[in-house]
Structure 1
Amino acid sequence: MSAAPAAHDVWDVGAGYEAYIGRWSRRVAREVVGWLGVGPHARWLDVGCGTGALGDAIAAQAAPALVVGLDRSMGFVAHAHARAGGAHAAFVVADAQALPVRDGAFDAVTSALVLNFVADPAQMVAELARAARPGAPVALYVWDYADGMEYIRRFWDAARALDPAAAALDEAVRFPVCAPGPLAALLEGAGLASVEVRPVEVPTVFRDFAECWAPFLAGQGPAPAYAMALPEDRRAALRVAFRAALPVSADGTIPLRARAWAARGLR
């Protein structure tokens, strides 16, 4: 089989991302916001806000004075803004590695599923720390691509069985930072204190295979971008292999689980 398409991470269409990852990120976000335990009327910064999963959890659970969401994708920022509404949210197109904010401007700084996609993760974490006031929590979470994000893991296992060249595009290979040791080292390297890393597991249940496969046709994220770059016959073969790799309940639903690694420290 010919070489796999080059890595091309597409982040633009909010609805496509929500169907693929955003809805599961929202479940993790609720757990992380609760874990941080930040009191009401705080100023929050959500770096790489995407379609607003973490910002929505902050608004619903933490009674913030303000949530500022930043993301490089204009499409995602527009989607998050349309969902959020209200006077306590603001959204800006910006780079996570060069935040357009003052030092110590926020009472809590967070980021969801972004760290592994930036060119310099250490620079991003340094920027998160810079934006937090002294004593404020800085927190982020990423998927456990190697072992805990079953939906993506089973996709890449099927892809690699058909074409070993796909291994180079697998997030488990590309993103070794998505593990407790590297995450803790990054936060500590940014000067954060009392660093902790914990797993957060959520169910990812699909009503049938059609719902499970459809997000890969929207092209949002590494695996969908890979699927859509394949010729039609190879994509059809991948669909068959992926379906065969999935568990199916008696009612036709596909029960999977997703694990994220959540890390936090204090400025």
Structure 2
Amino acid sequence: MIQLSGMPFQQSDMWPSGSIESIIIQQMNEDTVVYSYQSIDELSFELKLRKNIILSARAMNQSNVRFAVFAKSRCNPQYWHLTSTGGFLLLDGVKPSDAIQDIYRNSSQYAFECATAMVIIYYHAVLNLIGESLFNQLFQNIYLYSWHADPDLGLTSNYTDRFLPGDVVYFKNPDFDPQTPQWKGENAVILGDGTYFGHGVGIKTAEQIIHALNRRRKPGTKQSAYLTNLVTRPSFKHLAKLSMSQGVYSNHKYQHIVVQHSESSISFDQYVFYL
């Protein structure tokens, strides 16, 4: 159930029926766990960030970024220094917001593995919610490498059987082929419609991701890959507090940004993000 300032919260007409926000609210209210928030703004911030995580995952899926092991990672040298370990270090004098946006805008110049993809999705989703000014204040020294992330993202991983749209879950492949260790598992964003986005496998159902991992097992083995109960999330409350303390975010005053796009070509610009 959801509590606002200690009082039960029920669905309202703030979010249209069938919207991802409405679906998340319903799942929270049907849960025996208490989801506690100090205000409607704090709850709304989490809902919008979860939605933006989903939108950023879908945008990455439709971009031209490629999956690659660390040794074969690549990035745009105008924004990033490619380290010897395959990480991307933000160049001096480059705005963090510009560098993150470039991954989507010039996606063909990038290749990375699935954990790094998840962190990029988080940064992109947060940027599109809090705006460039605050984002550039908070994330001045971005280093993209596996699960390495700025402390203000507040990434935590916990074991739970309660998943929500916008969560990142982990599919484990216990009998992965040692010749291809990158397929020992797959991090994936829950998209809220029964599908997941995993960098390297695309948007698929859980069964399809498991099938894809099973095809990459050691020869002769039969132990199936499976969806674990490991969930990774950013600190929604911490980010909401930072945003609201700067006057960046209010539930009652936000803006839809829509960029026109051709029906013959699809890019991340087709999506609507929230400020």
The reply to whether TM is greater than 0.5 is no
Structure that is richer in helix per residue: 1
Provide TM-score, normalisation by structure 2.
0.29
Q: Which has the higher contact order (CA 8 A, sep 6+)?
A: 1
Provide TM-score, normalisation by structure 1.
0.29
